[in-house]
Structure 1
Amino acid sequence: MMAKAARAAAAWRTYREVTKPGSPSLMTRVRAIPRMVGAVMRGQYDGMGKGRLALLGLGVVYILSPVDVVPDFLMLIGVADDFGVFLWLAAALLGESGRYVEHERRVIQARLLEEEA
């Protein structure tokens, strides 16, 4: 019961962050994920370390992998752990990609100000 409430709270926080006025839209965040991954790998984005990126990658592997910590044949429990990892992964990726989009905007704005000077 407690884990279900925590997942619902995480989903609600993610929804509120994505729909906040002035915040990057959902699709903007989704499209920014590959750029963010590349920037982290090249060391051009300090907002996320390679360790956190690796942890997110493990989350993707866990969801796609047929091997689970809690087997799916245990019906609700087996599916719930996958769903919990999915919610964590979606919240983490959408939150971080939103921060990355803001970072990109600041970098572009700084470049434009440099060109004007």
Structure 2
Amino acid sequence: MSSTPYHIEVEVQTSYIEEQSSPEDNRYVFAYTITIHNTGSVAAKLLTRHWIITDSNGKTQEVRGEGVVGEQPHLTPGERFQYTSGTMIETSVGSMRGSYQMIADDGVEFDAEIPAFTLSIPRTLH
């Protein structure tokens, strides 16, 4: 457990979706599975998300919205929530980073940072 009452850890796993991608059309589709873990001491609800998606040409997409996959999970201390979503970029390598805007049960609003992670087709990066 974290020393702060408001702490969310975010873990990410990515995969390339070859059957939905079309490299000749600069279309690369990736899935990402996110595990959100409340390591703080106060329960909190995920309100909104903010993503910054960048391809290797430097093209950036910004995505904001309510919840994740149609849900606004409420996580008690120690609880985890996992979901899978996806994105499309124009290059074989890119990155994503962002944050979840949270509200704790005591009314405190805070951001849970999502560290940058790489999107890459297999055998592109070593």
TM-score range, shorter chain: under 0.3
What TM-score does the superposition give when structure 1 sets the normalisation length?
0.24
Question: Higher relative CO (CA 8 A, sep ≥ 6), structure 1 or 2?
Answer: 1
The structure whose Rg is larger is: 1
